[in-house]
Structure 1
Amino acid sequence: MNERSVRHATFVIRRSYAATPATVFHAFADPATKRRWFVEGEGWTVEEFSASFEVGGREHSRFRFGNGPVMRNDTIYLEIVANERIVFSYTMTVAGRRISASLGTLEFAAEGEGTRLNYTEQAAFLDRLDEPGEREAGFRELFQALAAAVERAPLDA
């Protein structure tokens, strides 16, 4: 039998966007928009994505990278304040094994004409199947994809 373990970690990511808080918040609230930046991407196959963005609502996605194992993200929305805050819990599963359980808090604030996004994650990484540094790096990549979804390229002069 494999040794069971849990490792707790917290990380914070701060990111600025050249878009209003309402625009950035919408990218989380609208299921079609979120699917594009959150689970789609080069090399990824999305097998399932559903979302009910409301307090108590759930989001479920099942996907894989290349020929890799099936991954699942199961989310429950705990608190939503339009254009200001989203608090949610989620679990990640890979090849049928739960690898983590997390509490995430997104905070949106006006910053000049743009948005300052603060993301805090408190996570329990299970049985050494995932690591805090990998999760943080993954969210940094997701927030880069979010930038492409919400920021408009400057117009040519």
Structure 2
Amino acid sequence: MTEVGERAPGGVLHDTFTVGLRLSASAGEVFRAFADPDVRRRWFKLPGSTMSDEHAFRVGGGASARSAFPNRHAPQERLKYESRYLDIAPDRRIVYVYEAHVDDVLRWTSLVTVELHPQADGTELSWTEQVAFVTPTGDGNDDLRHLRGGTRLRLNGLAAALKPTPTTSR
């Protein structure tokens, strides 16, 4: 039996991790940040200079995003993200799967469960990801650190997108 974070026979590296985030917004506002395309675009981004993004927030729907990522010491990378929603419980839970491709090569696929727990002063968000690196880089340890760090950055973006925008007076 393969332990979490170890490479299974055939070269696939598996891992499971959870990232928690305390938000001052209500569970409804956090859920809307996933569902509303305009709010989602403020925090869900692929790295790179150009990005196309399509999003259908419904069970069976999903997202498709593409970007070109300039690399200082190597050729530009083409990034592609494809997801499909499996379960959506308004203001409580979102479960989806996604694929990450680099230069048309499937690098990893994940099952993500986002849980929203209302608190008196906001929402506790729990993001659990079960990932299979099918084309890891080297031993895959850098891939794991990259995905965990990228998830934390994405959630920081979510927190920023939920903050009220200042209004200008005339």
Common fold by TM > 0.5: yes
Tell me how far apart the structure 2 counterparts of residues 58 and 21 of structure 1 sit (CA, whole Å): 21
Amino acid at match of 1:74: E
Tell me how far apart the structure 2 counterparts of residues 108 and 44 of structure 1 sit (CA, whole Å): 32
Q: Which residue of 1 aligns with 2:4?
A: none
Out of 60-69 and 80-89, give the one that drifted further.
Answer: 60-69
Query: Runs (4+) of structure 1 moved beyond 4 Å?
Result: none
SS state of the match for residue 77, structure 2?
coil
Amino acid at match of 1:24: V
Once the two structures are TM-superposed, the CA of residue 31 in structure 1 deviates from its matched residue by 1.5
Of structures 1 and 2, the one scoring higher in RCO (CA 8 A, sep 6+) is 1
Once the two structures are TM-superposed, the CA of residue 153 in structure 1 deviates from its matched residue by 7.2
- Note if 1:61 corresponds to 2:61: no
CA-to-aligned-CA distance 1:61-112 (integer Å, 9 cap, x gap)? 0013335311011000000000000000000001111100110000001122
Q: Which residue of 2 aligns with 1:80?
A: 88
Tell me how far apart the structure 2 counterparts of residues 6 and 44 of structure 1 sit (CA, whole Å): 30
Q: Which residue of 1 aligns with 2:121?
A: 113
- 1:86-97 equivalent positions in 2, closer than 5 A: 86-97=94-105
Q: Which has the higher strand share?
A: 1
Structure 1: any 5+ residue segments left out of the alignment? none
Percent identity reads: 35
Cα contact 1:99–1:126 (8 A) shared by 2:
yes
CA-to-aligned-CA distance 1:23-60 (integer Å, 9 cap, x gap)? 1110101122112211167x5421x2101100001210
Q: Root-mean-square deviation (CA), in Å?
A: 2.0
- Note if 1:134 corresponds to 2:146: yes
Cα contact 1:45–1:66 (8 A) shared by 2:
no
Out of 58-67 and 130-139, give the one that drifted further.
Answer: 58-67
Q: Which residue of 2 aligns with 1:18?
A: 24
Once the two structures are TM-superposed, the CA of residue 118 in structure 1 deviates from its matched residue by 0.2
Rg larger for: 2
Amino acid at match of 2:147: R
Once the two structures are TM-superposed, the CA of residue 17 in structure 1 deviates from its matched residue by 0.7
Amino acid at match of 2:21: R
Q: Which residue of 1 aligns with 2:110?
A: 102
- TM normalised by structure 2 equals 0.81
Structure 2: any 5+ residue segments left out of the alignment? 1-9
- Note if 1:34 corresponds to 2:46: no
Tell me how far apart the structure 1 counterparts of residues 134 and 49 of structure 2 sit (CA, whole Å): 24
SS state of the match for residue 55, structure 1?
coil
